[in-house]
Amino acid sequence: MHIVILSRNSSLYSTSRLVEAVEESGHKVTVLDHLKCDIVSEEDNPCIYYRGTKVTGIDAVIPRIGSSVTFYGSAVVRQFEMMKVFTAVESQALVRSRDKLRSLQILARAGVGMPKTVFTNYSNEVGKIIDSVGGTPLIVKLLEGTQGVGVVLAPTRKAAESIIQAFHSMKARVIVQEFIQEARGEDIRAFVVNGKVIGAMKRTGKEGEFRSNIHRGGTGELIKLTKQERRAALVAARSMGLSIAGVDLLQSDRGPLVLEVNSSPGLQGIEKATGKDIAGIIVKYVTESVQKENSKKTVRRKIKSDA
């Protein structure tokens, strides 16, 4: 089996671990930079060229698409789908999860608990926005932010008004979100693969930092999820259509609240915290999925030939 990992940097921890896991499973692996893929659309003959060479003989793709290149990265994944190649993360699920506003709407429709959130089209009614999330302190987030970048804590009403107005003046689209005081700067990352939570860690921000992202100096430790937390993570991943997802949760007085569903979750923190071979679990899911699909195709061909 030949598996492609779409990644801009083969030396990144997550990419290198996936390469290692594929090789250990006895399969062939290639890392392709999705930004260097050329998409060729032709009737009944969709294809991809990489550095001038046609990409052929691929059985599966594991996308590792950064948020800043979602548009083109998802187009490459979609092209592989048109070529009948199995993709560990579907293109539409990737796009859906990257749109913060759309993802929150989907989560709300699925009945997933989450912090009160407001989005407006540069409204001048800043006071009403603040009141809608229960006053201050509150969180202001850029819709395009990731890994804690573009996330600001407004401790007072005056600060909140200034921050929201500043973002609006720059035509930056933001969401305003309730601050969950009892979370104490901690959150949970639940790692979901194929409808199962395979590992979870509690992330704690460094001293004086309300953001718990490991990329911002936070630390992660193993945690056992409650039934409520496990269910919230699974419903969130399923509602997004993601077979592989990192679901971020807050522990609140009213139960687990989903912050975000990540379609390209990093492996370093979760593998270190849990001691599990997460990369190996992902590769096993991919290879078994391809084998099942191939078996179905064989049966369909046999039925067709016997008819």
Residues 6+ apart with CB under 8 A from 26: none
Give dist(CA 207, CA 218) in Å, integer.
Answer: 9
Q: Is 208 exposed, middle or buried (0-12, 13-18, 19+ CB in 10 A)?
A: exposed
d(CA 214, CA 217): 5
pTM, to two decimals:
0.90
Q: What is the DSSP string of 146-179?
A: -TTTTEEEE-SHHHHHHHHHHHHHTT--EEEEE-
Q: Which CATH superfamily is domain 116-179 in?
A: ATP-grasp fold, A domain (3.30.1490.20)
What is residue 147's predicted lDDT score, i.e. its pLDDT?
56
Second-level CATH architecture of 2-89+280-302:
3-Layer(aba) Sandwich (3.40)
By three-state DSSP, how is residue 305 classified? helix
Residues 62-114 have pLDDT tens digits of: 999 999 999 999 999 999 999 999 999 999 999 999 998 899 999 999 999 99
Question: Is the predicted pLDDT of residue 145 greater than 80, yes or no?
Answer: no
| Domain 182-279, CATH number (from 3.20.20.105, 3.30.470.20, 3.40.50.970, 3.20.130.10) | 3.30.470.20
Residue ranges matching CATH 3.30.1490.20 in the chain? 116-179
Q: How far is 163 from 158, CA to CA, in rounded Å? A: 9
Question: What is the rounded CA–CA span in Å between residue 84 and residue 243?
Answer: 18
CATH 3.30.470.20 in the chain, residue ranges? 182-279
Task: Provide CATH 3.40.50.20 ranges for the chain.
Answer: 2-89+280-302
Burial 9-46 (b: 16+ CB within 10 A, else e): eeebebbbbbbebbeeeebebbbbebeebeeeeeeeeb
Write the pLDDT tens digit of every residue in 160-169.
999 999 998 9
